[in-house]
Structure 1
Amino acid sequence: MASSKLLVSRVILLVLASCLFTSATAWKASLYRDTDFRGGHIDLSGSGCVGVPTDFNDKTSSVNTRGGCVVLYQNGGCTGKSLTLYPGTGSHNNLKKMGFNDRTSSVGNCAPRGKREVYNSFK
């Protein structure tokens, strides 16, 4: 009886840990064709790298990060030059000011805390 309770407790702990890890790395973002969150837009989300659909590739001028952190990449597969957008940092409404207008081909999540220095060194 005690061993079955211990097993159930371990399974529950594993499931909870899995949920916490997944939510910590998941992201959502809305990409807009025009500055100031205007024009056509698409909503993307994931827990890793997501390619921008062909009809929206290299056409993003502003981004709503939905309160999270996302990384925009110039090339597919989350490669090439990148721009990290943290919550509260300016110019999400005008990527031209950040030198990244009409360059986004893929979007990914930010590096976990503590890994950011290593992550940023690969840009």
Structure 2
Amino acid sequence: MFSLFVLAMAFYQCSIVNGWKATLWEHPDFAGAKYESEGSDCHNYVGNAFNDKASSIDTHGTCVRLYYHHSCQGDYIEVFPGSLHHRDLSNLGFQDTASSIGSCPQ
């Protein structure tokens, strides 16, 4: 019974580590329209009015990569808990440029 519990906890921890959650805002300082997303794989903004519009981000304690291109391709930045400039992505040279978002590799 104990080994089953340990296995279940290990699976739960893996699902948390590999997943991500983010809220992106149109303007610095978490202002304007927002886009919320979460998952464990790449998400595109295709067909969404939020493509190339993110200026601030809340990663909800997870690590995310913001990519210049769709399908998590091209240059990217990693935004993780404790990293600077969540309030203003322009300080990272990444304001109004993100086209897709995904998890940071483990």
Q: TM-score, normalised to structure 1's length? A: 0.76
Q: Which residue of 1 aligns with 2:80?
A: 86
State the aligned residue count.
105
Choose between structure 1 and 2 for higher RCO, CA contacts under 8 A separated by at least 6 residues: 2
Partner Cα separation in structure 1 for residue 74 and residue 4 of structure 2 = 40
How far is 1:97 from its partner?
1.2
In structure 1, the gaps of 5 or more residues are 1-7, 113-123
How far is 1:10 from its partner?
6.8
In proportion to residue count, which structure has more helix? 1
Q: Which residue of 1 aligns with 2:18?
A: 25
User: Which deviations, in whole Å up to 9, do the C-alpha atoms of 1:28-54 show, x marking residues without a partner?
Assistant: 100000001000001110011111252
In structure 2, the gaps of 5 or more residues are none
Over the matched positions of the two proteins, sequence identity in percent amounts to: 35
User: Which deviations, in whole Å up to 9, do the C-alpha atoms of 1:7-43 show, x marking residues without a partner?
Assistant: x777665544332211111111000000010000011
In proportion to residue count, which structure has more strand? 2
